[in-house]
Chain A
Amino acid sequence: MLIVEAVIVLAILVYLFFSMAPTGFSIAGQNIFENDYTLEIEKGDQVIISTNMDFENSIILEQGESIDLPPGTYYWKAKNWLRESKVQSFTIQSNVGLDLFVRGSDYELENSGNVDLNVTGKKSGITTALEEGESIDVKEDNYEGKQNG
């Protein structure tokens, strides 16, 4: 009886070891430039993100947490109490995005990309810094944006 039970327990533990491997989905290996992106994991409690493959100086995130990352290539893996997933990567490409809203005689300029910009009014030639996600009221209706820094 005891032997049968021991075999069952051992079989379950072996099964758990192989089936509990966490998995990462979503943007594995992709180039992304959108402002919102999701790392989706299965059977994992944490995500470890690093700028290098050996995960030196890594950042650990729990499920449900979020982080702002600058453009670059990142390596990540999911982890649970037993195992780690395989290492995957994604690249956040810099995206220069500029939106101009026209409301009556007023204009609003919004940095819709993922990097800080220098925006220049085509008529005045005046250049203004516009941080990522920032929007400002402007007077002109023609603007050009480029990555600053």
Chain B
Amino acid sequence: MRANKMDKNLLRMNDKGSVKRLVSDNSKGVSTGCLSKVFVDCFNKRILFLALLGVFSILILQNISGLGITPGRTSINFEPGLNREVAFSVVNTEQKEMSVVFMIRGELADYITLNQVYEEFSSGDETKPFSYTINLPNKFEKPGRYEGEIVALEMPKGIKEQGAYVGATVAVVSQVYVYVPYPNKYIEAELNVVEAEGKVNFIIPVISRGKLDIVDLRASIDIYSGSGEKVASLETGKGAVNSLERTELFAEWIPSVAPGKYKAVVSVIYDNEIAEIEKEFTLGEMFLEILEVYVKDFRLGEIAKFNALVENKWSSDLKEVYLNILVYNNEGETMADFKSPDYDVGALSKSEMVAYWDTAGVHQGTYDGKLMLKYEERSTDRNIQLKITPDNIEIIGVTGRVLITGKGGTLNMNNVLLIIVGVLVIANIIWFVLIKRILKKKR
């Protein structure tokens, strides 16, 4: 099931020509006499270890239960007698056959009607749209937030006929918030921290939940390190927000501190009142980042040597770091689980790690997998896909971010024209200077 999901992602990304490759054929390899010796030592132990692991993996069955719902939350400003149809979608994250049962609960349950309470999904259904109708009363007694929940519960396919099910399952909730305005000035704010190009952007969406407009709105942000020391203070620009409307405050920070965990304490000041919010954020991408993974000189059926280049972005040394790679078969079962030895990675430095996988009995094809970099009870994980051919293993990773990609090469028609213009201009200047000189000489 995982394979289906990954294949779909990959196809979609390939259409856009934007698959991020983790494989680098011209990457540095490690091959010293010393390491070769270590390799032989490890090799015999590893064969035994891998054989045991292989048997162990076969014995362990991996089932999966997965479900998604979007949007996770719908916010509505209260209007007397409001009648509205609200759309939502259920995501079949594992692309499998299943049933989904819907329920309503919460203080708004009496005002919500589901347009459908049961649906069956086939393995080809990635998402399915649904809706509910919200029918609000003419009045709520108190101002504030009223909550309702639409619960989607995953069940085996055909549960309607079977009647009951006992086993592993998950449920996901789409929340409905109805806001009844406060009679005075009242704001709701949150903090989004977005890091890009060496800058940290603090985006503070502010929603006025009161009946009165707010004419003077700003925020101050204090940033504290993990040890509680204040490292920076920032001010956003000033703004205003009308009753029941939304605006954003913004501040930019160019940090000159080491990567790590920080806390932002935000005071949103609105017409001489203050609302405080706090949020922890990590500066720097990760403590330890996997830069690339590649396999060189591979033959199917032999031992594959996985080289991983990792970077310690943390400002102190990390000890006992190791790489753990899982490979899943098409049923999502773990067919291989192998690890590198422990490494020490210096502060803010790069290190190459090696792990070996015995591919005896492995068939060529595309397999899903997981790459885990383990250190100090933490783990940097990446979902990967291994394309195994008789003489190559290509490793493709999923990044989980917005990736900017370009189309077309650098030498396109426009560049050629630009070069032509440049050449013509230079040729003309030379030609002009030469003619001038010749004319001068003649005179």
Residues of A within 8 A of B (CB): 2, 5, 8-9, 12-13, 15-16, 19-20, 25-26, 33-44, 47, 51-52, 56-57, 59-72, 93-104, 107, 112-113, 115, 122, 133, 135, 141-147, 149
Contact = CB atoms under 8 A, between A and B. Distances in A.
Contacts of B399: 36, 66
Contacts of A44: 406
B201 interface: yes
A26 B60 CA distance: 41
A144 B71 contact: no
28 contacts: A9-B424, A16-B414, A33-B71, A37-B402, A39-B402, A41-B405, A42-B406, A57-B201, A60-B196, A60-B197, A61-B404, A66-B399, A70-B194, A71-B71, A93-B71, A96-B70, A97-B66, A98-B172, A99-B65, A100-B64, A100-B65, A100-B168, A104-B61, A115-B72, A122-B171, A133-B400, A135-B381, A142-B171
Contacts of B35: none
A36 B403 contact: yes
Residue from the set B94, B403, B413, B417 with the largest chain A CB neighbour count within 10 Å? B403
A104 B334 CA distance: 12
Contacts of B42: none
Contacts of B203: 51, 57
A66 B403 CA distance: 4
B23 to A, nearest CB: 16
Nearest to B5: A112
B407 A41 contact: yes
Contact of B68 (A19, A72, A95): A95
A61 B196 contact: yes
Residue from the set B250, B398, B406, B418 with the largest chain A CB neighbour count within 10 Å? B406
Interface string B387-421: 00000000000111111111110000110011011
B67 interface: yes
B233 interface: no
Contacts of A43: 408, 414
B93 A97 contact: yes
A114 to B, nearest CB: 9
Interface in B172-215: 172-175, 190, 192, 194-197, 201, 203, 205
A12 B421 contact: yes
Contacts of B250: 56-57
Contact of A143 (B60, B89, B170): B170
Interface residues of B, number: 69
Given A16-B418, A42-B407, A147-B175, A36 B13 contact: yes
B299 interface: no
A12 B424 CA distance: 11
Contacts of B175: 146-147
A68 B175 CA distance: 23
A36 B66 contact: no
A39 to B, nearest CB: 5
Contact of A101 (B62, B174, B403): B62
A133 B400 CA distance: 9
B406 A146 contact: no
B149 interface: yes
Given A36-B400, A68-B194, A144 B68 contact: no
Contact of B408 (A42, A57, A133): A42
Contact of B171 (A67, A102, A144): A144
Contacts of A143: 170-171
Contacts of A107: 168
Contact of A96 (B60, B72, B402, B404): B72
A149 B413 CA distance: 51
B194 A38 contact: no
A67 to B, nearest CB: 5
Contact of A16 (B91, B400, B408, B417): B417
Nearest to B251: A57
B35 to A, nearest CB: 33
B353 to A, nearest CB: 22
Nearest to B167: A141
Contact of A112 (B68, B248, B420): B68
B291 to A, nearest CB: 14
Nearest to B17: A40
B404 A64 contact: yes
B63 to A, nearest CB: 4
B9 interface: yes
Residue from the set B13, B17, B63 with the largest chain A CB neighbour count within 10 Å? B63
A60 B72 CA distance: 28
B98 to A, nearest CB: 13
A68 B406 contact: no
Given A38-B404, A40-B17, A98-B67, 13 more contacts: A37-B402, A38-B13, A43-B408, A61-B404, A63-B404, A68-B195, A69-B402, A100-B65, A112-B66, A144-B170, A144-B173, A145-B172, A146-B175
B435 to A, nearest CB: 11
Nearest to A44: B406
A20 B405 contact: no
Contacts of B196: 59-61, 65, 67
Contact of B414 (A19, A52, A69): A19
